[in-house]
Amino acid sequence: MRPVRVRLICSAGRVGPENMAVDEYLMRWHLRALRPVLRTYAWDPPAISIGRYQTTDRIYYEACRKDGVTVVRRITGGGAIFHDSEVTYSFVCPERGAGSPISVSESFERLNGFIIHAYRTLGLDARYAKQGPGANRFNTSDHFCFSGSQEFDICIGGRKIGGNAQRRTRGVIMQHGSIPLSIDLVRVRRYFRDGIDQTRFTSLRDALGWDIGAEQVVRAVERAFSEMMSGDLIAEELSAVEENEVRSIMNQRYLREEWNSDGRLEEHEDRTARMA
C-alpha cells in the first residue's frame, strides 16, 4: 500500500491567537482537501493557552499583562499551559484514520504513538501514564495541565512530559500537543495561582540532562511520524490566501474577549472537545 500523502507545515513562531487560528483552519482545510496534515510550531512571544471549558480565575492576569504574555482559549479541553521553550505539534486526520469505530481514549493512544516513538529515538523511556511508575497517580485533573495526568498522557520516569488535547467535529480529529524543551518554574508560578506540583512533570532538559534544540526535536517528530503513521510528508507552507483565512478566524474568535475570558460560543458551533 502506498503511503498516505501528508501535508507538512513547519511554522516559525507566531503569537498565541494566531497559532490557535492556524490549528482551527487546518481542520477546515482537511474537510476540503481530504488530506491529513502535520504541523510543528513555536510561540513568539510566550503565551498561555487555556482549555475550552476552563475558568480563568486561577491565572494572574496582571503579571501576564506586565510581561506581554497573551492568554488565549483553545477549542480543545483540559488544563492551561505556559508555552515558552517548547515544540508544539498538531495533527489533523479523519476519525477513521485513527481506526474506526474507536473511543476517544483509544484515539489518544494511537495518535500519541509517534510522539512516544520520537522520545524513544532521543534515548528516553517514554510510556503512557497508565504503564509507567506512579501509574496509580493518573486520572487526576489540575488547572495547570502538567500537574494533572490522564491514562494516555506521556510520562518519562513516572513524570508527565507535555500535554495533548483533541477536538472532533464532522468526522475530523485535530490533536495538538506540547513538547517542553525546558520549563521556567519561576515564570509558571508568576502566572498561575496554584496547582504547580513540580514532582509530577518534567521537560526534555531534565529528562535528558542536557539542552536540546527545537530543530532536533522537530526532526525527531517528523521521522517518528513517517515510521509510525505510514505517512509521506510533503512540505507545503500556508499560502497567502490561507493566511487571510487564518486572520479571519483569529479576528472572529481568538482576539475576542468574550471567547478568551468566557468561552462563549455561537449557537451553531459544534461543542465536541476533549483533553487527555
Q: Which residues are catalytic?
A: 145
Label the pairing between strands 201-202 and 47-50.
unpaired
Assigned C-alpha cell, 275? 483533553
Burial level of 82, CB count in 10 A (0-12/13-18/19+)? Answer: buried
Pairing of strands 159-161, 201-202: parallel
223 vs 118: CA distance, rounded Å? 8
The overall longest dimension of the chain from CA atoms, in Å, is 55
Q: Output the CA angle 112-118-121, nearest 5 degrees.
A: 145
**What are the b/e assignments for 147-181, b being 16+ CB within 10 Å?**
bbbbebbbbbebbbbbbbbbbbbeebbbbbbbbbb
CA angle (88 as vertex; 62, 63 as ends), nearest 5 = 10
